Structures are given as structure tokens and as C-alpha cells.
Amino acid sequence: MCAGIKLPRALTPEKPHSEILRREQVVSLSKKLAEPYATLVLFLDATGTRIGEAIGLKASDIDAEGNVHICRRIYEGKADTPKTKNSNRKLPLGGTELLNRLRSLGQGYIFASREGTPVNPGNALKRYIRPAATELGITLSGWHAFRHSAATQMLRNRVSPKVAADILGHDVKMLLSTYHHPEMEDFRLPLQERAGGLLCDVM
């Protein structure tokens, strides 16, 4: 009885993504937090590192030239190798105030608890980061929001996708398909440039 009836094509649901944090939001959040969380959110925003990589960072991973070597991660409370081959990388932060703040946090693990162990990311998010963000009216889904924001902002600032991918420790395909979130304003300049040029030629 239903033979020959053409069903409507099912739409592929849009994949949800993390919100993009503005730089001023991250700065406000940092100012509201005590150390080491204040510097932690700045570091995540600046570098786009994964939270496990950030809390696995030791003072010995910063060399004399100010290069920060991402060479371990904390996974389920234990030190482990980076997630992928591309994840083992050096980030040149020499000459920045951020590097000075990292060095001021002491020896051993940089983002450490009072016992000297790496901070617990789940507890930190629940007890400190999210409450501070809520007070400021900032929507924060989780730690990965900083990584998504860093990737998107770098691409908006016309950083080469290859360079941005290497900073994040990803491949270019993954960066563009997962971490880049264009908005309407991103379309404006290229469209205005192309439309304006066409109209000039016609007139």
C-alpha cells in the first residue's frame, strides 16, 4: 500500500561543538582564580594544549630558550606518553609573560596540588573553574573549550592551518573538521572582497 511513496530525505544532524571563548573572557576568568588555576586557563587558551598535557607539564620541561616541551600527559591520574606522535612537540614561549608565570609556579609539576601531584582536572573544573565562569556569566562546557577556542582564533587570525595543527599536536584534517568553527563574521570579509571586485568590473 505504501509502495512508490518517496520518503523525505533524512537530514544529517549538525555536530555540536564547544563554545568559543573570547580573549577577554579568559582574562577575566584568570583574574578570578587563584594559582595554579589562574595561569592554567591562560596557558590552555594561549597554546590549545589538552588538559592532560598541561597538568603533566614539569618545570624541567622548559628549556633555557623558553621552549615548553610537551612530552607527557596525565591520563586517569597517571603519567603517560602523549596521545599521538604529533602530540610530542615544543612550544616556543620565550620572551612572554606567560612563560614567566609558568616558571614562578615552582619546581616539579607546574600545575600541582598542595601535595605536589598534578591537579585533578575533574575536581578543578567542578570546584574552581566552572563556579568562577558561572559568576562571570561565561558558558563553559569543559576543558576542551579552551582547545577549540585556541584553534578557531588562530585560523581566524590567518595562521597557517599546518602551523596551527602542529601547535595543537594534531593533523590538519582533524583541525579543520573538528576544531574550526566559522561564524557569520568570518564570511563577511572574503565575500565583500569578491562581491566588491565583481561589481567594480561590471560598472
Torsion of CA 116, 122, 127, 128, to 10 degrees: 70
Cell for 133?
565562569
Contacts 24+ apart (CB under 8 A), 120-126: 120/77, 121/51, 121/52, 121/55, 121/74, 124/37, 124/40
Provide the mean pLDDT of the chain.
86
Q: Using CA atoms, how far apart are residues 164 and 116, in angstroms rounded to an integer?
A: 32
Q: Which residue has the higher pLDDT, 152 or 185?
A: 152
Q: How confident is the model at residue 199 (pLDDT cuts 50, 70, 90)?
A: low
Q: Integer distance in angstroms from the first to the last C-alpha of the chain? A: 59
Q: Please give the residue that has the higher pLDDT: either 84 or 9.
A: 84
The b/e string for 11-42 (b: 16+ C-beta within 10 A; e otherwise) is eeeeeeebebbeeebbebbbebbeebbbbbbb
Q: Residue 18 above 80 pLDDT?
A: no
The answer to whether the bond into 182 is cis (omega within 30° of 0) is no
Architecture in CATH for domain 23-202: Orthogonal Bundle (1.10)
The pLDDT of residue 10 is 47
**pLDDT (0 to 100) of residue 20:** 87
Identify the residue whose cell numbers are 604529533. Answer: 86
pLDDT value, residue 79: 93
Segment 57-101, tens digit of pLDDT: 999 999 999 999 999 999 999 999 988 888 999 999 999 999 999
Supply 144's cell numbers. Answer: 576542551
Residue 186: CB atoms within 10 A of its CB come to 14
CB atoms within 10 A of CB 1: 4
Do 172 and 159 form a contact (C-beta atoms < 8 A)?
Answer: no
What would the mean pLDDT of 128-157 be, rounded to a whole number? Answer: 94
Per-domain boundaries in the chain:
23-202
Grid coordinates representing 7 are 520518503
Amino acid symbol at 171: D
